Structure 1
């Protein structure tokens, strides 16, 4: 039996709560561009995860919730939108033909994130994961072109799929409102102490920038 949307959201939040105790603040350089999945996300607003919550914490939940919406839209498309489904099937077959697919099979905490870190100024990478993926993609034939009539029909079905996704998304946000208390309790228990510890360490380093056991600089 298909699980209800309420059950799926509850299970997604449960999975995120089980993962959250393993979260640690990132120590690498941050990225300049905001995450397109999380920036301004109504899902995160409904969950009560504001801009003061680290992105890694946000991303783990938003990705899990997005998979629920994507699954609902995929079911709707398979039943009601034959042209769009055929196009998606062709694209899926094309993707399977690629010899290198580094973005597939990732844990929810890493889905949708850039494959490569930001390069250091003046120190470009010899190669990148995304570059190798693009090379593998270049060797796969393009999909056959569509007629103007087919393009118009496909655009109409894409619009219907978008409308359905928005409807499911609004329902998911409503359901998330009922989980805000336990989400906030977990943030208080697992995230805020780590952030406070980082700020305390930063304060100490600013107050005493030199090792007390080393002689002062001349």
Structure 2
């Protein structure tokens, strides 16, 4: 039996809550560019995860919910949009032909994130994961070109798929409103104590910027 949208969202929140105790604050340098998946996301707004919640926590939930929308749109496309489905099938076959696919098979917490860290001025990378992926992609033949008529028809079907995605997205956001309480409880239990501990450590280091033992040797 096909699962309802309510069930899928509930199970996605359940999975996120099971992962949440494993979350730890990032200790590496933050990125300059905002995450395109999470920045201004109506999904996160509906879930009650505001800008005061760390991005890693947000991303783990938004990716799981986006997967639900993507699957719904894929089913709709397969049933109603034959031209777009054919184009997607060709692109999927092309992707499978690539010898290196580092962005596939990632856990939800890492899906959609940049493959490489931000570059440091004056310290160029010897190689990058995205560069290796691009090199592998260049070895695969491009898809055959479309006629102007086919392009126009394809654009129409893409518009229909976008409309359907927006409809499913609104439904998902409405459902998420009913999970806000347990989402907030999870953040309060597992995230906020770690943030508080980090702030306490920072406050102690600012109060005592020098190790008192350093003066003993003078």
- For 2:119 and 2:151, locate their aligned partners in 1 and report how far apart those are by CA, in whole Å: 39
Count the aligned residue pairs: 218
CA shift, 1:32, in A, is: 0.2
Alignment of 1:130-149 (within 5 A): 130-149=130-149
Q: TM-score, normalised by structure 1?
A: 0.98
- For 1:114 and 1:166, locate their aligned partners in 2 and report how far apart those are by CA, in whole Å: 25
2:161 pairs with 1:175: no
2:124 pairs with 1:87: no
Q: CA deviation digits over 1:163-214, x for unaligned, max 9? A: 0000000000000000000000010000000000000101111111111111
- For 2:212 and 2:196, locate their aligned partners in 1 and report how far apart those are by CA, in whole Å: 24
- Give 5+ residue unaligned stretches, structure 2: none
Secondary structure, counterpart of 1:174 in structure 2: helix
Q: Per the alignment, do residues 79 and 199 of structure 1 end up closer, same or farther by CA in structure 2, a change over 3 Å counting?
A: same
Q: Per the alignment, do residues 119 and 216 of structure 1 end up closer, same or farther by CA in structure 2, a change over 3 Å counting?
A: farther
- For 2:61 and 2:168, locate their aligned partners in 1 and report how far apart those are by CA, in whole Å: 17
Does the 8 A contact of 1:210 with 1:216 survive in 2? no
Secondary structure, counterpart of 1:215 in structure 2: helix
- The residue number in structure 2 matching 1:157 is 157
2:125 pairs with 1:97: no
CA shift, 1:217, in A, is: 10
CA shift, 1:216, in A, is: 8.0
- Give 5+ residue unaligned stretches, structure 1: none
- For 1:65 and 1:165, locate their aligned partners in 2 and report how far apart those are by CA, in whole Å: 12
- The residue number in structure 1 matching 2:41 is 41
Alignment of 1:23-38 (within 5 A): 23-38=23-38
- For 2:122 and 2:198, locate their aligned partners in 1 and report how far apart those are by CA, in whole Å: 29
Point out the more displaced range, 55-64 or 113-122.
113-122
- The residue number in structure 2 matching 1:51 is 51
CA shift, 1:215, in A, is: 1.7
Q: CA deviation digits over 1:37-67, x for unaligned, max 9? A: 0000000000000000000000000000000
- The residue number in structure 2 matching 1:110 is 110
Q: Which 4+ residue blocks in structure 1 deviate beyond 3 angstroms?
A: none
- For 2:80 and 2:185, locate their aligned partners in 1 and report how far apart those are by CA, in whole Å: 41
Secondary structure, counterpart of 1:64 in structure 2: helix
Q: TM-score, normalised by structure 2?
A: 0.98
2:163 pairs with 1:186: no
